[in-house]
Structure 1
């Protein structure tokens, strides 16, 4: 018997041809996982942005001191252990021998550099603003000291923005670092065709072991239906955030699976509270009474969500289940507009990014607000311009989502509603309330879980009355996936890690 073996390597797959007794069989072995998501990353510098598309790529490149497991328990990351030295000091002991993608070894100096740079970042400083100093004990030991006791510290350090950077790489790249990222994660950056795709490759020296899939490509496919089509044709292996109308199609394909789970995400309508007439609480309340969120969940989401009464979802620590939702009441809405001096309504605009679901939500809101005399035009804005414009306050109203990444109410409420986080840090409604500031600060400095929960409950009551944002629905997240992709699991925050994923066969 004669065997002839030819190996032809091509980007994306290897084709092995074997002949036995004259019969040839082609065996295709995929070496690239292709993921489709709805927007391109903005930057891969975790200190320069806090958006979901960027974080979904960054989480493959970087690692954090600590991580959360599927049950949101804190587990080791780059730190193999940690302990509290007192109520303000937490000591982390790093794994030895961890390599960055540039070959440098992880040291305590990198942790100090990262957290101090994070504190200096206007975009993500709010996540670690409780930290007073970072002290190096030795090359592999670091103390993180907070200004006051800070209950959610470990959860905040699991955030993608708290990814540990290599000081040498950041300084060498300068302003270009966001396009030349260097981490300790399972995949390292290869190249970026802006607006199209980001290519990564498995890092041979990853401390958690080399990955089974050598290459990962993130494709920018804005239309959800196009992501579903790409799944059907095999162009992509995983499609994030499919449109409701496409879910059954994917679910019913023999080679595909649809996975849908509750998330930490809430979709909301934001008001620019520093711009008339939205600086008047009665106008915001009037709009809230004009909205029927059940219609949005049923007609747009096709049931993939639940009408919300809070900026944080039921799975988040600190959620207050006792808050009533606004129920559609056009008479009450018109009455409030009249009390605000606008009996005939007004003209305004709403911004949304080029996300089909959000555009449809805007269209439903447009029809509902028309019933109380509000003539609202819809402006669809490219994602990067949307983030920049809303951070500057150029909008009237906007549709956005917020993911309480850490699973703790501090992250879900502080960034969106504290006076210190106006703009890109999260508070795009530019809301300020001294009592809310006080309650949020008191809750984050407490290490008593029951007290923290009570304080966050009070904050949610105030927010539901003053409605700087109207919480539309608690969002379910979904992915479509080829059935030959094994080991993938969804993260409640939406930053799904591809670590450990493989192909069948």
Structure 2
């Protein structure tokens, strides 16, 4: 090998090294010029949520359970939406609304929006959805949301008019409910949207392997800015302890409805955040108001005085709020101080009423669904009522049997709850305590014409200030009459990886993944 060849090889090596150096500088400079959001976008934007059970279906018209609505909220949208921080109702698919008279709601829709199947969102789609929700043949579980609506008329392509039989104050709350979400008429006619959902939302349905998972992907043609998350997976994990282990190992990034007894374990996990805030749910002890001695106000007062709700709430590790108002602080219709008319814990007073009215030794059966929270309530209340002189036993039933038994009034005292998804007091008091709903959702079979009148006035009024006053009056009346003894107002809760950003749980327990990203 001669000297010229060696010099040539050296030169080639130097040139190659210089080229590599220049490329490295260019690459580093390029990265330095990118925004943090652009770099974040390069990371895999996906989230897996652990669901304790599978969805019942994926059609907002045909379902009415929280598991299903967790999914449908990401795929479909409503005309109005509740702000998760303030619970203020704001337009979403609607642009605005007007009440030319108290029985008319004229709703202007946003233009240029398409369903995931490419068909247009318009007034015809809204009318179709609401007609289906009201259709007796379809038997939608939440048809009651639009029960007061007498007619639905398309005024032009983007204006729909709802006429009610009477003024309907909770209309906007009803139209923000997940079961009033707008579906694609074409998809509903041509396919089964309970299995293959088609909405206008930020995520598009991809697959459902029943019993295992549901997968959604980002809607690249969304009418607002596209979501950051590319993929959303709802993983079915029946055991909460298993879900917590998966959260710890990173197999899932998000769980909610945290069990109070496992909360210390969850809060001890590294790289996991816990979110807790006041919710709209109420849990209560209810009397059968058609049976003796529960028809006697003195007996109900004795029970109310004899129960120390704090003994139950203190076991919840911060996942419950003590407030004896039927309408909770996060529900429209609550006025501070309403709880002051309730019967506070006073064991001696309770004993005195029991003895003076001949109820000492009275045999009572507490019916409880076979769920941890209700069983815990029953055990605490059994002990406390025994202390004031009653002979109390507990009967437990599995969930479906319990619901059927309680609905028929085959109980003495029982424990129940109401999620308050609309966060409107009328939609708490009417279905649960109005005499019209006995044999349906009024399990305690409470009937009070004066109370009924106040609740009707709260519903049949579009003046929200007047509605607030009527609801407060009705609430105070029911607290004093004591068909329920409130055990606690629920706290919404979630635990999620610290890599998850932008997650916010609404007081009604619902959440959207639209503003969520991974960092």
1:288 equivalent among 304, 308, 319: 304
Aligned residue for 2:60? 46
Aligned residue for 1:142? 160
Q: CA deviation at 1:154?
A: 1.7
TM-score (norm 1): 0.83
Q: Give the 3 Å change call, closer, same or farther, for CA 75–361 of structure 1 in structure 2.
A: same
Segment drifting more, 177-186 vs 434-443 = 177-186
Q: Give the 3 Å change call, closer, same or farther, for CA 253–194 of structure 1 in structure 2.
A: same
C-alpha contact 1:269 1:469 (8 A) present in aligned 2:
yes
1:375 equivalent among 392, 400, 406: 392
Aligned residue for 1:360? 376
C-alpha contact 2:75 2:201 (8 A) present in aligned 1:
yes
Aligned residue for 1:443? 458
Q: CA deviation at 1:239?
A: 1.1
Q: State the distance in 1 between where 2:262 and 2:153 align.
A: 52
Aligned residue for 1:403? 419
Aligned residue for 2:74? 60
Q: CA deviation at 1:496?
A: 0.9
Matched, 1:417 2:417: no
Q: Give the 3 Å change call, closer, same or farther, for CA 381–150 of structure 1 in structure 2.
A: same
Q: State the distance in 1 between where 2:299 and 2:236 align.
A: 38
Aligned residue for 1:491? 506
The CA deviation string for residues 269-292 of structure 1, in whole angstroms up to 9 with x for no partner, is 234434666455555444333321
Q: CA deviation at 1:459?
A: 0.9
Q: How does 1:51-200 map to 2 (within 5 A)?
A: 51-69=65-83, 70-120=85-135, 121=139, 123-172=141-190, 177-194=193-210, 196-200=212-216
Task: Name whichever structure is richer in strand by fraction.
Answer: 1
CA RMSD of aligned residues (A): 3.1
Q: How does 1:472-491 map to 2 (within 5 A)?
A: 472-491=487-506
C-alpha contact 1:282 1:339 (8 A) present in aligned 2:
no
Q: CA deviation at 1:489?
A: 1.2
Aligned residue for 1:346? 363
Q: State the distance in 2 between where 1:334 and 1:77 align.
A: 54
Q: State the distance in 2 between where 1:179 and 1:388 align.
A: 28
TM-score (norm 2): 0.81
Aligned residue for 1:328? 345
Matched, 1:469 2:484: yes
The CA deviation string for residues 238-272 of structure 1, in whole angstroms up to 9 with x for no partner, is 11022234334433433111111112222222344
Q: Secondary structure at the match of 2:153?
A: strand
Task: Name whichever structure is richer in helix by fraction.
Answer: 2
C-alpha contact 2:286 2:415 (8 A) present in aligned 1:
yes
Q: State the distance in 2 between where 1:47 and 1:276 align.
A: 40
Q: Give the 3 Å change call, closer, same or farther, for CA 208–390 of structure 1 in structure 2.
A: farther
The CA deviation string for residues 58-102 of structure 1, in whole angstroms up to 9 with x for no partner, is 222221011122323332211123233333222222223323334
Q: State the distance in 1 between where 2:210 and 2:285 align.
A: 29
Q: CA deviation at 1:40?
A: 4.1
Q: CA deviation at 1:166?
A: 2.8
Q: Give the 3 Å change call, closer, same or farther, for CA 113–403 of structure 1 in structure 2.
A: same
Aligned residue for 2:266? 250
Q: Give the 3 Å change call, closer, same or farther, for CA 88–341 of structure 1 in structure 2.
A: same
Q: State the distance in 2 between where 1:374 and 1:249 align.
A: 37
- In the alignment of these two chains, the number of paired residues is 473
The CA deviation string for residues 17-47 of structure 1, in whole angstroms up to 9 with x for no partner, is xxxxxxxxxxx95454222244544443434
Q: CA deviation at 1:152?
A: 3.0
Q: CA deviation at 1:305?
A: 2.6
C-alpha contact 1:37 1:241 (8 A) present in aligned 2:
no
Q: Give the 3 Å change call, closer, same or farther, for CA 166–435 of structure 1 in structure 2.
A: farther
C-alpha contact 1:344 1:373 (8 A) present in aligned 2:
yes
Segment drifting more, 130-139 vs 199-208 = 199-208
Q: CA deviation at 1:431?
A: 2.6
Q: CA deviation at 1:155?
A: 2.4
Q: State the distance in 2 between where 1:463 and 1:187 align.
A: 43
Q: Secondary structure at the match of 1:86?
A: coil
Q: Secondary structure at the match of 1:454?
A: helix
Q: Give the 3 Å change call, closer, same or farther, for CA 31–449 of structure 1 in structure 2.
A: closer
The CA deviation string for residues 100-129 of structure 1, in whole angstroms up to 9 with x for no partner, is 334432231221122233344574233333
Q: State the distance in 2 between where 1:307 and 1:200 align.
A: 38
Q: CA deviation at 1:388?
A: 5.5
Gaps of 5+ in 1: 3-27
